[in-house]
Amino acid sequence: MDDILADAERREDQLYNELSAAPVCELSGVVSASGVSGGKARGQEFWSLLLTLDAWRVGTDPVRTESLMLRRRVTHEELKAFQETIDSETVIKVRARVSEDNILGNPQGQLEEFLGAVSDDTELHSCLAELQKPVIHSDRRFGPLTFDRSIRWYAGTARWNGKLIDLNVNAETEDELLQALAVAYTLWDNESNWHQRVIDYAVEELLPLKNDSWLGDDETEFTPEQFKNQMMLEAICVYADGGFEFWHNDGDLFWGHSIQIGGTLSEGLDCADIPG
pLDDT tens across 66-116, in order? 999 999 999 999 999 999 999 999 999 999 999 988 888 889 999 999 999
Average pLDDT over residues 243-265: 97
Sign of CA dihedral 96, 102, 107, 108: negative
**pLDDT at residue 54, rounded to an integer:** 95
pLDDT digits (tens, 9 = 90+) for 123-176: 999 999 999 999 999 999 999 999 998 888 999 999 999 999 999 999 988 999
pLDDT digits (tens, 9 = 90+) for 43-67: 778 999 999 999 999 999 999 999 9
**pLDDT at residue 12, rounded to an integer:** 85
List of domains in the chain: 2-129 (2.40.50.140), 136-273 (no CATH)
Contact in structure between 97 and 105 (CB atoms under 8 Å): no
pTM of the model: 0.74
**pLDDT at residue 81, rounded to an integer:** 97
Indicate the pLDDT class of residue 275, thresholds 50, 70 and 90: very high
pLDDT at 10 over 60: yes
**pLDDT at residue 1, rounded to an integer:** 46
pLDDT at 8 over 90: no
Written as one letter, the residue type at 17 is N
**pLDDT at residue 3, rounded to an integer:** 64
**pLDDT at residue 104, rounded to an integer:** 82
pLDDT at 5 over 70: no
Whole-number average pLDDT of the chain? 94
Contact in structure between 26 and 59 (CB atoms under 8 Å): yes
What is the rounded CA–CA span in Å between residue 181 and residue 190? 14
Written as one letter, the residue type at 210 is K
**pLDDT at residue 129, rounded to an integer:** 96
Query: Among residues 169, 153, 181, 149, which one has the least CA distance to residue 32?
Result: 149
